[in-house]
C-alpha cells in the first residue's frame, strides 16, 4: 500500500534529516566561534584607517536540500496556514553557512573585516508538484585587507 | 567609533520546536479540516440534489438505456413481467409521488445483486433470484429498492460523490504534496460511501412496510439478509465501517425489532413460493419455505 | 528602536557598530486564501488576502531582527534591506537585515 511507502520515506527523511541538521548546526557554531574575530559590518562607510587598506569582493554560497519530512509538513501547512518552522530552520542554516564561507574566503585573503554584506536567497530545482527541492543562499561583501597581509590568489572556498 | 560583533543568541529566527509534535498537530488539524469539510459538502450536495426534478432523472436514464439496451430474450420476458407485476403491487403501499414510476429489469447475471438507479429503474439479477427461498423474500428486496427510489437516494448519492470528488481534486491540487494524495483519497472515501448506511436502514424499514401491506404479515423479511450472511461466511467478510451496507446481523435485528413492534402475529405468516414460470426458467427447484 | 535604510542618522553620531542582524520568517497561505486567489485569477484585482499575509510576515521578520539587535545591545538598526523569496509552493520567505549600531 502506498501509505506504507509514504511512512517509510517519512521516517527516513525524519531520521536522516534530523541527523544532518543537528550535525550541521554543531559545525556552524564551532566555526562561528573560530571566526568570530573577523568582523562583519553591513555598512558602506569605512572607518578612517591609519593605512589605506586593500579591498576585495568576497562571497560564500551554499545549496541545501529539503528532505521528505520537511516537504510533507510544508504540504500540510499549505492547508492550514501559518509559520513553516521546518523551512525556517533550513534557511537559518543556509544563511549562517553562506556567511561563514564568505568569512573563510575573506580570511584566506588575509582580511580583518568584511563590509557591505548582502545576502541573496533563491530556490533551485523545484521538485515534483512545484514543491521546492533545494534552496541556495549567497552572501557577498567587500573584504578589508590591511596592507601588509596581501595574499597571492588562494582558491575559492566552496566547501570548507 | 568601535567595531565589534557580539554573539547573537540562537532560536530567534529558527525557534526550537520538536518536529514530531509539529507533525502530529498538523496531521490532526488537516484531517479534521478535510473530514469536516468533506462531510458538510456531502450533506449539502445530497440535500440539494433532491431538488433536481424526477423527470430529468427519467430522461437521463431513458437516454442511457436507449444507447445501452439490456439483453432481453423471449425466454426471460415472463420473469421481467412477473417482477414488474410484483413491483406494481408493492408500490402503492409506499405512497410514491405521482410522477414517479418504477420500471423493473431482469439482469441475467450470476452476481447476487439488486440495485436501484436514476429514473426509477430497478435491476434484479438472476443470481439473486436463484437464492431467494420464497416470494416474500423477493418482495422484501423489491420493496427495499422501491424505497430507495421513493427517497431519491440514487440522485442524492450521485450528487454527493461528484461534489466530494471535485473537492478532493481541488485540495490535492492546492497542497501540491503528492504524498498527501493517498491520504486524502482514503479520508474522502470514508465520507463518500454511496447509499449510506442510514439510507439503507431507511429503505429496509419502508420495504418492510410494503411487504406487510401486500401480504398482511412480515414473514420472509429477514430471509434475504440471512442469504447474504451465508454468502459472506462462505466468501468475503468486510468491516462494517468500510462497507456501504450495514452489516447483515444489524439489519436482521432491526427488522425483527420492527416486526415485533407492529404486532406479534405478523412474524408467523405463510410465505408464497416463487411462481412456477420463474422456477422453470431459472432451471432450479426451489423448495418452498 | 530606530530603523532606517540610510547609512547615517542626520544629527546623531554612531558610537558602536555591532554588525549584522537579521530576521526572517517563512509563512504559508491556507486553503481559504488559495481558493479566493484562484477566483481572482479569473476576475483580476488585488489579492487582499495575500497582501495581508505578506505584510504580517514582514512585520514578524522585522520584529525578529529587532530582537537580535536588542540582544547585541544596539539602539538602532541602519542600512536595512528587505528580501522576498519563494521557498515552497504557496509559501514565501521574508528576510530583513541591517546593521546594528549604538547611537549616542
Q: Does C24 touch chain B (CB under 8 A)?
A: yes
Give the per-residue pLDDT at A50.
85
pLDDT band at A32 (very low <50, low <70, confident <90, very high): very high
Interface pTM (ipTM) of the complex?
0.81
What ranges in chain C are assigned the alpha helix state H? 31-43, 48-72
Q: Does C28 touch chain B (CB under 8 A)?
A: no
Among A residues 90-109, those touching chain B with beta carbons less than 8 Å apart: 91-93
Torsion, Cα C27 C28 C33 C38, to 10 degrees, reads 120
Give the per-residue pLDDT at A138.
95
Give the per-residue pLDDT at A98.
95
- Residue A95 CA to residue A139 CA, distance in Å, equals 8
For the cut 50, the answer to whether the pLDDT of residue A155 exceeds it is: no
* Residues in CB range of A105: below 8 A, 6 or more apart: A58, A59, A60, A143, A156, A157
Residues of chain A found within 8 Å of residue B30, distances taken between Cβ atoms: 76, 79-80
Residues of chain A found within 8 Å of residue C7, distances taken between Cβ atoms: 43-45
> How distant, in Å, are the alpha carbons of A109, B7, B108, C50, C98 from that of C93?
33, 24, 63, 13, 17
Give the per-residue pLDDT at B174.
58
Instruction: Choose among B8, B174, B175: nearest Cβ to C72.
Output: B8
Does the distance separating the beta carbons of B33 and C22 come in below 8 Å?
Answer: no
Residues of chain A found within 8 Å of residue C24, distances taken between Cβ atoms: 88, 91-92, 95
* β-sheet bridge partners, residue C19: C100
Residues of chain B found within 8 Å of residue C23, distances taken between Cβ atoms: 12-13
A interface test, pick of B4, B37, B179, B190 with most A CB neighbours within 10 Å:
B179
- Residue C102 CA to residue C15 CA, distance in Å, equals 6
Q: Return the higher-pLDDT residue of C62 and A86.
A: C62
Q: Does C41 touch chain B (CB under 8 A)?
A: no
- Residue B18 CA to residue B139 CA, distance in Å, equals 62
Mean pLDDT for A114-136 is 77
Does the distance separating the beta carbons of B4 and C18 come in below 8 Å?
Answer: yes
pTM over 0.90, yes/no: no
* Residues in CB range of A17: below 8 A, 6 or more apart: A67, A68, A69, A70
Does the distance separating the beta carbons of B12 and C64 come in below 8 Å?
Answer: yes
- Residue B277 CA to residue B279 CA, distance in Å, equals 5
Give the per-residue pLDDT at A137.
93
Q: Which residues of chain B have pLDDT under 70?
A: 70-72, 170-195, 235-247, 262-272, 274, 276-289
Give the per-residue pLDDT at A158.
46
* Residues in CB range of B33: below 8 A, 6 or more apart: A79, A80, C31
Q: Does C21 touch chain B (CB under 8 A)?
A: yes
Sign of CA dihedral B268, B270, B273, B274: negative
- Residue A114 CA to residue A39 CA, distance in Å, equals 6
With H, G, I as helix, E, B as strand and everything else as coil, classify residue A121: strand
A42-82 residue pLDDT tens: 988 888 888 888 899 999 999 988 888 888 888 888 778 88
The grid cell for C7 is 547609512
CB A54 within 8 A of CB C5: no
Of B280, B220, B276, B231, give the one whose Cα is nearest residue B110.
Answer: B231
Sign of CA dihedral A21, A22, A23, A29: positive
Name every residue in B having a CB less than 8 A away from some CB of A.
1, 3-5, 7, 13-15, 17, 19-20, 22-23, 26-27, 29-30, 33-34, 171, 174-180, 182-183, 186
Total count of residues recorded for chain C: 104
Helix count (H) and strand count (E) of chain A?
Answer: 3, 5
Total count of residues recorded for chain B: 289
Mean pLDDT value across chain A: 84
Amino acid at each position: 500500500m502506498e501509505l506504507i511507502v509514504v511512512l517509510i520515506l517519512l521516517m527516513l527523511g525524519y531520521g536522516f534529516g534530523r541527523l544532518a541538521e543537528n550535525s550541521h548546526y554543531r559545525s556552524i557554531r564551532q566555526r562561528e566561534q573560530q571566526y568570530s574575530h573577523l568582523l562583519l559590518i553591513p555598512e558602506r562607510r569605512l572607518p578612517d584607517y591609519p593605512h589605506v587598506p586593500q579591498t576585495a569582493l568576497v562571497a560564500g554560497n551554499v545549496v541545501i536540500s529539503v528532505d521528505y519530512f520537511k516537504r510533507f509538513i510544508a504540504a500540510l501547512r499549505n492547508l492550514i496556514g501559518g509559520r513553516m518552522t521546518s523551512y525556517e530552520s533550513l534557511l537559518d542554516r543556509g544563511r549562517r553557512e553562506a556567511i561563514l564561507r564568505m568569512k573563510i574566503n575573506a580570511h584566506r585573503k588575509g582580511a580583518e573585516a568584511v563590509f557591505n554584506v548582502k545576502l541573496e536567497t533563491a530556490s533551485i530545482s523545484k521538485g515534483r508538484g512545484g514543491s521546492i527541492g533545494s534552496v541556495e543562499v549567497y552572501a557577498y561583501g567587500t573584504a578589508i585587507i590591511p596592507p601588509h597581509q596581501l595574499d597571492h590568489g588562494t582558491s575559492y572556498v566552496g566547501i570548507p | 567609533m568601535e567595531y565589534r560583533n557580539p554573539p547573537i543568541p540562537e532560536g530567534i529566527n529558527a525557534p526550537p520546536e520538536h518536529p514530531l509534535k509539529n507533525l502530529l498537530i498538523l496531521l490532526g488539524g488537516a484531517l479534521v479540516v478535510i473530514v469536516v469539510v468533506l462531510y458538510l459538502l456531502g450533506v449539502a450536495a445530497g440535500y440539494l440534489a433532491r431538488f433536481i426534478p424526477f423527470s430529468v432523472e427519467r430522461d437521463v436514464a431513458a437516454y442511457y438505456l436507449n444507447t445501452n439496451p439490456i439483453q432481453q430474450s423471449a425466454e426471460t420476458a415472463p420473469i421481467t413481467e412477473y417482477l414488474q407485476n410484483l413491483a406494481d403491487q408493492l408500490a402503492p403501499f409506499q405512497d410514491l409521488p405521482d410522477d414517479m414510476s418504477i420500471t423493473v429489469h431482469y439482469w441475467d447475471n450470476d452476481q447476487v445483486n439488486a440495485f436501484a438507479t436514476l429514473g426509477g429503474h430497478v435491476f434484479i439479477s438472476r443470481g439473486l433470484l436463484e437464492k431467494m427461498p420464497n416470494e416474500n423474500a423477493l418482495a422484501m428486496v423489491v420493496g427495499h429498492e422501491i424505497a430507495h427510489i421513493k427517497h431519491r437516494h440514487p440522485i442524492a448519492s450521485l450528487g454527493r460523490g461528484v461534489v466530494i470528488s471535485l473537492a478532493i481534486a481541488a485540495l490535492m491540487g492546492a497542497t501540491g504534496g503528492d504524498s498527501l494524495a493517498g491520504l486524502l483519497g482514503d479520508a474522502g472515501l470514508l465520507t463518500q460511501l454511496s447509499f449510506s448506511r442510514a439510507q439503507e436502514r431507511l429503505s429496509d424499514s419502508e420495504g418492510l412496510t410494503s411487504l406487510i401491506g401486500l401480504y398482511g404479515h412480515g414473514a420472509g423479511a429477514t430471509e434475504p439478509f440471512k442469504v447474504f450472511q451465508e454468502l459472506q461466511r462462505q466468501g468475503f467478510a468486510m468491516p462494517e465501517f468500510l462497507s456501504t451496507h450495514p452489516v447483515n446481523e444489524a439489519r436482521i435485528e432491526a427488522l425483527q425489532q420492527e416486526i415485533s413492534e407492529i404486532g406479534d402475529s405478523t412474524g408467523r405468516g405463510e410465505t408464497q413460493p416463487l411462481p412456477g414460470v420463474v422456477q422453470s426458467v431459472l432451471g432450479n427447484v426451489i423448495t418452498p419455505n | 528602536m530606530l530603523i532606517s535604510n540610510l547609512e547615517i542618522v542626520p544629527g546623531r553620531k554612531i558610537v558602536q557598530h555591532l554588525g549584522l542582524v537579521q530576521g526572517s520568517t517563512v509563512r504559508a497561505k491556507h486553503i481559504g486564501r488559495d481558493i479566493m486567489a484562484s477566483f481572482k485569477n479569473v476576475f483580476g484585482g488585488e489579492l487582499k488576502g495575500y497582501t495581508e499575509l505578506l505584510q504580517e510576515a514582514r512585520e514578524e521578520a522585522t520584529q525578529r531582527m529587532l530582537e537580535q539587535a536588542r540582544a547585541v545591545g544596539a539602539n538602532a538598526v541602519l542600512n536595512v534591506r528587505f528580501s522576498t523569496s519563494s521557498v515552497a509552493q504557496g509559501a514565501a520567505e521574508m528576510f530583513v537585515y541591517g546593521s546594528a549600531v549604538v547611537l549616542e
